[in-house]
Structure 1
Amino acid sequence: MDPWNARAANDALELYTSGINAYREHVKPSVRMHYHIQDAGQVVNVVPDYSRIWVRVRDITKEGLQPVYDHVRKMAGGAAIMANVEHKVSLISGIHDLLPNRTGGAAMQKNLEALGDIQYTQEEIDFALEMQRNNGKPKIGIDGKIRSLRETLKSPGGGSTDVGDVSYNVPVVSLNVTTAPKGVPWHSWSVVASSGMSIGHKGMLYAAKALGMTMVDIFKDSRLRDDIKREFDERIGEYEYDPFLDPGPPPINYVD
């Protein structure tokens, strides 16, 4: 009956999200900030004593991400001060960008060309067309053609992967293969369905063959190994790998 004597955790949460949204104007176009409110009380007429939000920030490189992360973390403290509540920040994940190795990529490219394009049955093509129709996308089917090795981009697009941390410690050679129709939303049931049937299985087996063939080449060819390592050392330069996460395993229950 007397909310003027209470402190609301949701006040801090709302101030925090307002700060994040205002901050979007002052970051580079490559920066991404996402959040999901996981707990904000249960009923409308009770002042909540606890709120929880999951925030994720991303950029092309760790150097670009670090100041953004530091500022977003400080904003949480500022929001807590304004609402006169306590707060806790738990870092549950943090990854580097993927360091390419063009020498290794060129070696894998030869194996991809030796394997040739992925071939699809009419049933698989029809399935892909149906997935595209269901998603309101152009009915262009599925593409298993080999692409040429392109120039390495300084600011590539794409998602996030913890393989990036591996690539800053040892040379990494990787590839992308077709496991779903072109154009369908990636985080969707259509991709799950495609990956779980023969379209996805063909892509996975194809990737395994390409990786296996390339590993054999690397094991057998000492010059190739030296060239891959030389490029790795050149790309690393004076950079000293420093993981985002603290030493040791991450907390099992990160919300406590």
Structure 2
Amino acid sequence: MKHIASVVDRVETKGQEFIDLADEIWSLAEMRYAEFRSSELHASAIERAGFKVTRGVAGMPTAFVAEAGAGGPVIGFLGEYDALAGLSQQSGALTCVPNPDAATGNGHGCGHHLLGAASHLAAVVARDYFAANNIKATVRFYGCPAEEAAAGKTFMARAGLFDDLDVALCWHPSVASSVFMNATLANVQASFRFHGKSAHAALAPHLGRSALDAAELMNIGVNYLREHMPDLARVHFAYINSGGASTNVIPVLAEVLYTVRSPHSGDALDLFERVKQIAEGAAMMTGTRLDIIFDKACSNVLHNDTLDRVLDANMRAIGAFDVDARETEFAKQLQNTISADDLANCSRHFAAALRDPKPIITEILPYHPDVARPVTGSTDVGDVSWAAPTTQCLTACYAWGTGFHSWQMVAQGKQSLAHKGMLLAAKTLAATAIDLAGKPDVLHEAKQELHRKRGSRGYQCPIPPDVMPPPRRDASGKA
């Protein structure tokens, strides 16, 4: 693997530039189709690096595709940069303290500021290597918005933006380093909006039709459905509108947001249809009118063992990074803020690390493609994996036991450990891209594996063709 030394050197040389980029996006903490500044930071930087950038792809103003090179295999790097609502947190704090400089109230509780920066860096390093060594290859960096609760990549997959890729490369910040081996859940998300008839709750209740009653009956019906759902399926809901604050007015409007998950896309869509029928029944029982507003959906990940083995070999050739005493001590202190239940849940997904538990897991965990894959949440990388052969890695950016979507994760997002894990990811992705570019037989086998796993049905986008991303808005949020 002669390319490893070159990749490591190049990533280290350019690393600070991308650490600064990640930290700036951490501070912006923009979310769900409103990542205007974060998206433009990425797009402008990679444009200056010589990539041709197409902005506003798939109907999303914060989505873009950057491309460089020509001929050879088409290698895609997936980047994200969206934050989570309500997770503002002061960097480096050991208590839950909102960031005083954050205007949005959002926070990077899933590390997407790191994710986009490392993928961006890997794309530039791979392009530079191909150019310096006269290797024909086409490199793309995909700026993917709204992964959290929105599925921007699913809209991009529906638009065919990944169809001609020979390989898609991605990663995710985590508490340990390895090939990404977990199964994921497909999901469907929609709002159920009930319209009733207002009336005085004491003087004329018989004239009213309660939208809140309809929403409550829907929830009860879905609770009874839970006994009859497939194994590992999940249904979650949240009230968007609970009907107002006056008890003496029959609620005229109530709205609940539902997310339906299942291990396979087809099962998730079937389960969603059953939830819809329950909502329709609730509307009939209460004499209300129902609107169903489809929000988003994503497919389960199709793992590609052919590619995973190549990624694992490159990650091991690069090797784990070192941590210093200060980083270890901070990790120990942060672990004291994490409950025993959260630590145990982390262990369930990373059992290999339990042989030598410590505040920071630095070694590369074993790759076991034949071991049962524990189920995690959902990701729109799933839709990319149905469209093109895809492989992903995890790297240790946080103290062992840190929960995703937690204030502890936000607090660590600008610390040196996060930066080290980010650079390991960039090295791994760039090295894997370069390795694969010289192995057309492996790329062919990866495509054959994808065809076998998705079967004759092929990729069917779970978002209906008439459902569009949210309307275009400018940086101020105006439509």
1:228 is aligned to 446
Distance 1:87 1:33 in 2: 20
Q: Deviations over 1:177-220 (max 9, x none)?
A: 22222223222100111223222222122111101100011112
User: 1:118 aligns to what?
Assistant: 321
Native 8 Å contact 2:451 2:458 kept in 1: no
What is residue 37 of structure 1 aligned with on the other side? 239
Q: Deviations over 1:43-63 (max 9, x none)?
A: 222211001110001011112
Select 1:186's aligned residue among 374, 387, 404.
404
Give the letter for the 1:163 counterpart. V
The one-letter code of the counterpart of 1:194 is Q
Are the counterparts in 2 of residues 120 and 199 from structure 1 also a CA contact under 8 Å? Answer: yes
Measured in 2, the distance between the counterparts of 1:196 and 1:20 equals 41
Task: Name the counterpart of 1:136.
Answer: 339
Kept in 2: contact 1:9–1:85 (CA 8 A) = yes
Structure 2 residues not aligned, in runs of 5+:
1-202, 344-356, 472-479
Cα separation, partners in 2 of 1:248 and 1:69, compared to 1, 3 Å = closer
Superposition pairs of residues 58-137 of structure 1, within 5 angstroms: 58-137=261-340
Q: Secondary structure at the match of 2:336?
A: helix
Contact 1:141/1:182 (8 A) holds in 2: yes
Distance 2:391 2:271 in 1: 29
Identity among equivalent positions (%) equals 29
> Is the CA contact 1:135–1:184 (under 8 Å) kept in the aligned structure 2?
yes
- TM-superposed CA distance for 1:152, in Å, is 4.5
Tell me the alpha carbon deviations over residues 86-110 of structure 1, each in whole angstroms, 9 at most, x when there is no partner.
0111111111100111111110111
Per-residue deviation, residues 13-71 of structure 1 (Å, max 9, x unmatched): 00001111111111123001100011112222221100111000101111222221110
8 Å CA contact 2:269, 2:462 repeated in 1: no
1:229 match: secondary structure: helix
1:169-208 matches, within 5 Å, as 169-208=387-426
Bigger relative contact order (CA 8 A; separation at least 6): 2
Tell me the distance in 2 between the aligned counterparts of 1:34 and 1:61: 17
Match of 1:11 in 2: 213
For 1:199 and 1:29, the matched residues in 2 are separated by 37
Q: Return the offset for 1:153.
A: 5.5
| SS across alignment from 2:274 | helix
Find the aligned partners of 1:232 and 1:39 in 2 and give their Cα distance. 43
Provide the residue aligned with 2:465 in structure 1. Answer: 247
For 1:184 and 1:155, locate their aligned partners in 2 and report how far apart those are by CA, in whole Å: 20
Verify the 8 A CA contact 1:12 1:83 in the aligned structure 2: yes
The TM-score with structure 1 as length reference comes to 0.92
Q: Which amino acid aligns with 1:181?
A: A
Is 140-149 or 77-86 further displaced after alignment?
140-149
Choose which of 375, 379, 383 in structure 2 pairs with 1:161: 379
Give unmatched runs, 5+ long, in structure 1: none
Select 1:22's aligned residue among 221, 224, 235. Answer: 224
Distance 1:152 1:48 in 2: 54
CA distance in structure 2 between the aligned counterparts of 1:18 and 1:248, rounded to whole angstroms: 30
SS of match in other structure, 1:66:
helix
Q: CA deviation at 1:10?
A: 0.2
Counterpart in 2 of 1:213? 431
**2:192 corresponds to:** none
User: Distance in 2 between the 1:248 and 1:113 partners?
Assistant: 45
> Across the two proteins, how many residue pairs are aligned to each other?
253
Shift of 1:118: 2.7
Secondary structure at the counterpart of residue 282 of structure 2: helix
- Structure 1 stretches of 4+ moved >6 Å: none
Quick check: 1:238 aligned with 2:456? yes
Cα shift readout 1:204-253 (whole Å, capped 9, x = no counterpart): 22111101100011112222222222222222231221111122662527
Counterpart secondary structure, 2:387 = coil
- Secondary structure of the residue aligned to 1:247 is coil
Gap change, CA 1:104 and 1:65, over 3 Å in 2: same
Q: Determine the C-alpha separation between the residues in 1 that align with 2:267 and 2:390.
A: 22
* Partner SS for 2:230: coil
Deviates more, 1:36-45 or 1:152-161: 152-161
Task: Provide, for residues 79-133 of structure 1, a one-character-per-residue CA deviation record: whole Å limited to 9, x for no partner.
Answer: 1111100011111111110011111111011111111123212111112111210
Quote the RMSD (CA, aligned, Å). 1.8
CA positional deviation for 1:3:
1.6
Q: Which range is displaced more, 52-61 or 147-156?
A: 147-156
Take 1:89 and 1:160, find their aligned partners in 2: how far apart are those partners? 22
